[in-house]
Amino acid sequence: MSDFAEARQAMVDSQIRPSDVTDRRLLAAFESVPRDLFTPRSKHASAYADAEVATSDQRRMMRPRDLAKLIHAADVKADELVLDIACGRGYSTAILARMAETVVGVENDEDGLSRASDILSQCEADNAVVIDADPKNGMPDQGPYDVVFVNGAVEEVPQTWLDQLAEGGRLAVVVRKGPVGKATIFSRSAAGIGERVVFDAAVSPLPGFEREQSFSL
């Protein structure tokens, strides 16, 4: 077993399994997808650490624990269509591709766009694609989606993401409320949009999704 393979297994055993992630398909996905492939060469040594990893000036990979718990909470099924927002180099896309029927990644960061397709091909994620588009807009032409997954924390959830949920669809995102992020699942039903907080998460903010400041005299 290579050093990276041992580190990947240790990541699953010490960070993900103890965090109440019990879905066997999800655990297998984290065991099989090489996280180091999605990190800059200078960050390979820390690819499996219990920490976020910056892949560019605009994108950071979530801590393995936070990523796994948020995907677990989204309850992705094998026959579902997933939209992966601000996917960077595509690590979350590759994980989700092991869980769902099809994954559409949306990214406008040049680093991610230039690398994601090749890396996903190396991971044999043939049911996933990354499209050049504004993450704020999602990708309505390919929806509606059973799951919308967001890579990073936002202060406000754009209505455009909620509008792209299918009936029974779930939006998985970390919502920042002050210094603490709340991993939240928004669900669409005939009655409207429901919301439940599933855990606290120290996830970096997604650039461009800050709440507009209001001024009063």
Q: What is the mean pLDDT of residues 13-32?
A: 97
pLDDT for residue 30 is more than 50 = yes
One-letter amino acid for residue 104 of the chain: V
In tens, the pLDDT along 35-52 reads: 999 999 999 999 999 999
What's the confidence (pLDDT) of residue 151? 97
Domain coordinates in residue numbering, the chain: 3-201
Q: Which 3 state secondary structure label does DSSP give 95?
A: helix
Q: What is the pTM of this model?
A: 0.94
What's the confidence (pLDDT) of residue 215? 46
Tokens coding 188:
């669409």
In tens, the pLDDT along 152-188 reads: 999 999 999 999 999 999 999 999 987 789 999 999 9
pLDDT for residue 129 is more than 70 = yes
Tokens coding 49:
């650490």
Which residues is 54 bridged to in the sheet? 60
What's the confidence (pLDDT) of residue 177? 82
CA angle 186, 192, 199 (to 5 degrees): 20
Which residues is 149 bridged to in the sheet? 84, 172
User: Are residues 174 and 184 in contact, defined by beta-carbon separation less than 8 angstroms?
Assistant: yes
DSSP state, residue 141: G
Q: What is the mean pLDDT of residues 198-213?
A: 85
- 211 — pLDDT class (breaks 50, 70, 90): low
Architecture of domain 3-201 in CATH?
3-Layer(aba) Sandwich (3.40)
CA 173/CA 16 separation, integer angstroms: 18
CA distances from 188 to 48, 52, 74, 83, 101 (A): 34, 30, 12, 15, 20
What's the confidence (pLDDT) of residue 213? 54
CA 82/CA 124 separation, integer angstroms: 17
pLDDT for residue 1 is more than 70 = no
